[in-house]
Structure 1
Amino acid sequence: MKGKFKQVFILSTAMLSFISFWKAAAIVLCDFGSSAYYAGGIAYKAFGPAFPYFILGVMLFAGLLLMVYIESSALFTRGGVYVVVRETMGKTMAKFSVSALIFDYLLTGPISSVSAGLYIAALLKVVLPFFGVDWHIPDRLIAVIFSLTVISYFWRENIKGVKESADNNVKIILFVSLVAVILFGWSAVTLAHRGFVLPPFKLNFSEEALGWTVNFPWLKAVGILGIIMAFGHSILALSGLETLAQVYREIEDPKIPNLKKTVTVVFIFSLLFTGLLTFFSSLIIPAESIGKYSDNMLSGLAMELWAPYNLKLILKTLVVLSAGLILIGAVNTSFVGANGILNRVAEDGILHDWFRGLHRKYGTTYRIITAVALLQAVVVLLSGGDIFLLGEAYAFGVLWSLTFDVLSIIVLRFKKPDEPREWMFPFNLKVDKYHVPIGLISIFIVLVTTSMMNLFTKKIATISGLIFTVGLYILFTVSEKRNEKKITLDEENEGFEEKLNLASENEMERLSVKFTKKNKILVPVRNPNNLIHLKSVLENVDDDNTDIITLYIKVQKGLESAGESAGIADDDKELFKQIILIAEKYGKTVTPVMLYSNDPFYTIIYFAQTVGVDEIIMGVSGSFGAEIQLEKLATYWGMLKKPESSGQVNVKIVWEGRTLLYTLS
């Protein structure tokens, strides 16, 4: 008997669990705020004692860029550089912009993990001799080993599909804030006791920081040109702003007011933590010692405060712990961000589907994750733990992705002047129906001028960035051509496609009325290689009186957000293909549903309560384990259950030779 396979229902409106502006700010700061630990030291190595002025200036400039992201996010809820550039300037420019952004994410992991390793090495150098241990291992060697260990760890965690919780981000930022408050208070006492002299506004560029400008007499590092050069060497402190565009989708209503609150929190925290603490470091650390602490500036600040040595050692330990937490978190962000963006461009047809192959056990895009890990490991090894070297390369992706983003918003002002905007960047000139963006154009001029100057001053960034960007652009172009040929072949030989009868619904309630049988069983599915639980249902259930609903939740969370479409990608088709084959084998009717969400467990319970299912039968998750799956389901059941409801749902988690039972009531 041939299986009866109903329509694949695609819920075109995503089911999201929303977060407060505090949590959104914490997510952004766990990436953006991490630069406080290394930006000042890199700037000092580049151009000397004037570094705190420029780091502070970059943080003020960040406030303007955060305002740009408000307008961008208001126009594109599922935004980010790739989406904005593609919509305004086409796929070609989008390929270049996303290549620069991927370069940024690839460098985020190495620079963050190496910086954390250098902080740990500095602590060991002080603490171990205190206990009589003779310590002579080079700091950079420790940083490289630590960095490779962290990258390996997050490679494994992302392969397994383990997600970082927004609550963890909040806890990290709260701890970092506590350490920052202690540093602020103690620094104020130290300055009051010792007095201070403002650092000289003197630009003393190193040979490496001048790059190719030494070959051009007209590019002297003086006056306005010198200021642009120094600003370019400080701009890496802006890394992480793109996270704001990705997390906006999950911010609770009212979205724009809450986005403004998020931006305010991020700006104030960054101005104080990155800007002012860097300034305090320059005031308190003796001029002759700043170079010694350039790899761990805030650690150096702790050791130069006016306090007993033992207390300074405790504070240094707290600083290193805070550095480890926020910097290691940034490594995970680099994996999630790169994986999410590459999956997004793959869905757009400009990255070959081979890269999106799913892991047999965990169902994650392991090839992309592995490629990111290998490239990051290569970068760490090539850098030899030199944070300045990494910082030089890092600025390339940061600057060019921001430049493309701002240019796109400017173009959109003229391309779609009648587009409703909840908020516009200020300083506009009204000419007929156009709001000429004087403010945005000014920001763009600063960005493009700094970007062009960096091409001359940053040899490593220019060479590595251009090679990577052009290489990735070529990969995108070749992939796009191959995908076009594949589409043509698919049209000539539909085969499996004919079995997929797609139907789109935009409301859960309208979808729920399609399930009319006495009993209803919900079977969440994700991995085409892990459908044992579906087989167990088809073996034992009578489909004459039972709706068998397979629920495929396409998770799009924060940086992984890829938008929605009324269609399915190739990896989705593979999952449905396996469901079809199993349904045909058992001759049972199955109704597949596919929807988008940022929280699968929330969605499973919401769907179950809306449709009125009697049983939820799941496979065991390779990422969590059965007990945690049940715990999450029970938590959301309690949150979402209506007071007047008296029904209950039986939950089964099925895997080889075992079944775990639980009743939600």
Structure 2
Amino acid sequence: MAVTVKPIQPTGLNQSHPQALFGKQTTAIVVTTGMLAFISFWRASAIVLCDLASTSYYIGGIVEQACGRSAPYFILAVMLFSYAVRAVYVESCSMFTRGGVYRVVKEAMGPTLAKISVSALMFDYILTGPISGVSAGQYLVGLINELLKLAHSGIILPPDFSAAFFAIAVTVYFWHQNILGIEESSGKAMRIMQVTTVMAVIMIAWCGITMAVRGAHLPPFELRFTADSLGWLANFPAARTIGAIGILIAFGHSILAMSGEESLAQINREIETPKLKNLLRTGLVIFLYSMLLTSLVSFFAVMIIPDSVRMSQYGNDLIGGLAMFMVGPLWARLALRVFVVFVGFLILAGAVNTAIVGSTGVLTRVAEDGVLLDWFRHPHKRYGTNYRIVNLVAGLQIATIVLSRGEIYVLGEAYAFGVIWSFVFKTLSVLVLRYREKYKRLWRMPLNLRWFRPGGQDFPLGLALTFLVLLLTAVINLFTKKVATISGVGFTLALFVMFEISERFNGHVEHVYGEEPEKFNLELVEEGEVDPVHLGLAAQHKRLIAIRDPGNLTHLHRYLSEPDDAELIAMTVRAERGLASSEGAQVFTDHEEKLFSKVVKVCEDHGRAVTPLVAVSNDQIYAIARMAYLLDVEEVVMGVSERFHPDVQLENFAMHWGSLGDSERHIKVRVLSDTRDIRAEI
């Protein structure tokens, strides 16, 4: 949030009346995107898990249909392997706070491969909504049909058609919500995961009791592929055996259990300080939760639901079917199934919203880089949202639902294309950046071997092995997933061509990604409302740090490195000479846009919230003192001036603070640099 305030009277006049000294104020300008709010690792975990945990509702049926009763073993293997893939994302986030696929691939291998990788990622995002919506519909329709059967009704809803209709309705609802600008908050995600955790605990405990009473055996480790699951390898004998190729095929059919990993890179910028430590905690929470929920549910379904009905009746509704085959009275099992469907609706519908939000965010980022036509970024006249991008995303999702006709298996097969190739490009890019050594790494993926030669560097064995597994899986999927290969390659090429045409149409304006200015939305407020309440500064302790040069924020970096929970106000002063008013001037200059974009980036890196502020004045130090006074700040931090000695800075500030006329108010002042930390209390 940035506020512009304009005093037009020079300092030194009428100092006995501070209000007159402050002079006339212009209308304040609030810059909403400049306001950062950071969340705990628990909330960050909840947001990612709302995407990841949704796969537990449909992954078991998709993989078993592809490779038989051994599906749970491969889902478990993917969940274990996900820790390595997550480590790749953690390393990239330690280099770039905004460490998504597009940013990392562009830095490592250039803009062309970056556009290809983000095109594949968009295929993943576009399909997340349809598969989650259709899965939610399948669970709801399954429950309705079960209740109709118990009521001896002859009415049966067609599962696929009804699920597709439900998915379209949910997509339209969240399309409208995103046009309004209402996105799922971390608080809502946290509540959804709390309810999901309750369901998971009940399911695990009840399944344990059921197996103890009835007895159970682990599913056999065997591969039974269908012609559809083998694709173009159907006539290749080695593909049907438990050998390297067969295991790799089954692993490829299970890889979509990791969908949602990219959400970790998207949410990294929101994680509070200490950012890296909380990022590692987030990764651990996600790993443990997905292991317990996704893997165990797959094993329980095969061990408890009879083979005769599992895939024929509950293939798209495994958790619902699991509830119906527990020990206990019918009413209790029906109640559990209703609870399962309720939780499934929450988490799967949330995944539909996350897909629209994620897709919009990715396309907005590439649009800011000049790769997508500026026409797409035109804000809604009433709500200010990127409605044209939202319309594009929602239209593609609805078209996908219609083309798939509500078949979960078809959607799942296509879904895996974007998942695996985005992982391949991401891992390769991080591997390339290891050798370029352009960026300082606060954390590296484990398993690094030191070469025994003078001046040698570590060999990233962990990264190399992860990339090799992902590449082999991606290549084998090209031959076994016909629908994914045809549709995924077609979609990726079409989007890539659109990016190329858009970039040429835009004149191929080149940006240094991550350094382009933030897009600030301006909101006008009334005069005299520059106070802590109006700016939302509710904390007891507040610090104001003066900034001016986007290339010299050393004092901001040093201050943010110190442990402190005070609210931070980053303020710059626009110099204005004499008594002339600049009410007709530009309300937010290019320099201020660049400066606050850099401030936002620095604060993101440190995981600290900030409220930017601009004041127009003919005296910089007076403006800082006056705004500190108005906002009830207890400490002001300034960088070392190029023109004045720090002692002179402190004396000048003390003089202006005294002129404000309140001798009872005290304030702390610091002049800070890499080598200096001069403090005073006035």
> Which residue number corresponds to residue 463 of structure 2?
440
Distance, in Å, in 2 between the alignment partners of 1:52 and 1:485 is: 48
The yes-or-no answer on 1:309 pairing with 2:330 is: yes
> Which residue number corresponds to residue 428 of structure 2?
407
Q: Which amino acid aligns with 1:234?
A: S
> Which residue number corresponds to residue 363 of structure 1?
384
Give the counterpart of 1:334 among 349, 355, 359: 355
Sequence identity (%): 46
Distance 1:90 1:280, change over 3 A: same
Q: Please report the TM-score for the alignment, with normalisation by the length of structure 2.
A: 0.73
Counterpart contact for 1:56–1:279, Cα < 8 Å: no
Counterpart contact for 1:221–1:229, Cα < 8 Å: no
| 1:41-440 matches, cutoff 5 A | 41-131=61-151, 133-216=153-236, 219=239, 221-291=241-311, 292-416=313-437, 419-431=439-451, 432-440=455-463
Counterpart contact for 2:35–2:611, Cα < 8 Å: no
Distance, in Å, in 2 between the alignment partners of 1:144 and 1:604 is: 45
Q: Which amino acid aligns with 2:481?
A: K
Give the counterpart of 1:462 among 471, 485, 495: 485
Distance, in Å, in 2 between the alignment partners of 1:50 and 1:218 is: 18
Counterpart contact for 2:164–2:406, Cα < 8 Å: yes
Q: Which amino acid aligns with 2:349?
A: I
Q: CA deviation at 1:351?
A: 0.8
SS in 2 for 1:200: coil
Give the counterpart of 2:521 among 515, 520, 526: 526
Answer with 1 or 2: which has the greater Rg: 2
Q: CA deviation at 1:367?
A: 0.8
Q: Which amino acid aligns with 1:372?
A: V
SS in 2 for 1:143: helix
Distance, in Å, in 2 between the alignment partners of 1:274 and 1:187 is: 14
Residue ranges of structure 2 left out of the alignment (5+ in a row): 1-5, 9-25, 511-515, 536-548, 552-581, 616-623, 632-663, 667-682
SS in 1 for 2:458: strand
Distance, in Å, in 2 between the alignment partners of 1:113 and 1:645 is: 58
> Which residue number corresponds to residue 491 of structure 1?
none
Q: CA deviation at 1:566?
A: 7.7
Distance, in Å, in 1 between the alignment partners of 2:157 and 2:587 is: 62
Counterpart contact for 2:373–2:503, Cα < 8 Å: yes
How many residue pairs align between the two structures?
A: 537
> Which residue number corresponds to residue 24 of structure 1?
44
Distance, in Å, in 2 between the alignment partners of 1:165 and 1:606 is: 26
1:220-242, Cα deviation, whole Å (9 max, x unpaired): 55411110001111111110011
Q: Please report the TM-score for the alignment, with normalisation by the length of structure 1.
A: 0.75
Q: Which amino acid aligns with 1:352?
A: L
CA RMSD of aligned residues (A): 3.7
Counterpart contact for 2:370–2:509, Cα < 8 Å: no
> Which residue number corresponds to residue 587 of structure 2?
591
Q: Which amino acid aligns with 1:21?
A: F
Distance, in Å, in 2 between the alignment partners of 1:162 and 1:391 is: 28
Distance, in Å, in 1 between the alignment partners of 2:74 and 2:276 is: 30
Residue ranges of structure 1 left out of the alignment (5+ in a row): 488-503, 507-523, 552-564, 568-585, 616-643, 647-665
Distance, in Å, in 1 between the alignment partners of 2:509 and 2:520 is: 27
Distance, in Å, in 2 between the alignment partners of 1:316 and 1:606 is: 53
SS in 1 for 2:273: coil
Counterpart contact for 2:230–2:239, Cα < 8 Å: no
> Which residue number corresponds to residue 657 of structure 2?
none
Distance, in Å, in 2 between the alignment partners of 1:10 and 1:182 is: 48
Q: Which amino acid aligns with 1:452?
A: V
Distance, in Å, in 2 between the alignment partners of 1:185 and 1:480 is: 55
Q: Which amino acid aligns with 1:591?
A: V
Distance, in Å, in 1 between the alignment partners of 2:291 and 2:521 is: 43
Q: CA deviation at 1:486?
A: 8.0
> Which residue number corresponds to residue 544 of structure 2?
none
SS in 2 for 1:290: helix
Distance 1:288 1:376, change over 3 A: same
Q: Which amino acid aligns with 2:155?
A: W
> Which residue number corresponds to residue 636 of structure 2?
none
Counterpart contact for 2:238–2:246, Cα < 8 Å: no
Counterpart contact for 2:183–2:353, Cα < 8 Å: no
Q: Which amino acid aligns with 1:263?
A: G
Q: Which amino acid aligns with 1:101?
A: L
Counterpart contact for 2:36–2:611, Cα < 8 Å: no
Counterpart contact for 2:120–2:492, Cα < 8 Å: yes
SS in 2 for 1:429: strand
1:291-348, Cα deviation, whole Å (9 max, x unpaired): 1211011111111111111100000111111111111101111111111111101111
Q: Which amino acid aligns with 1:180?
A: A
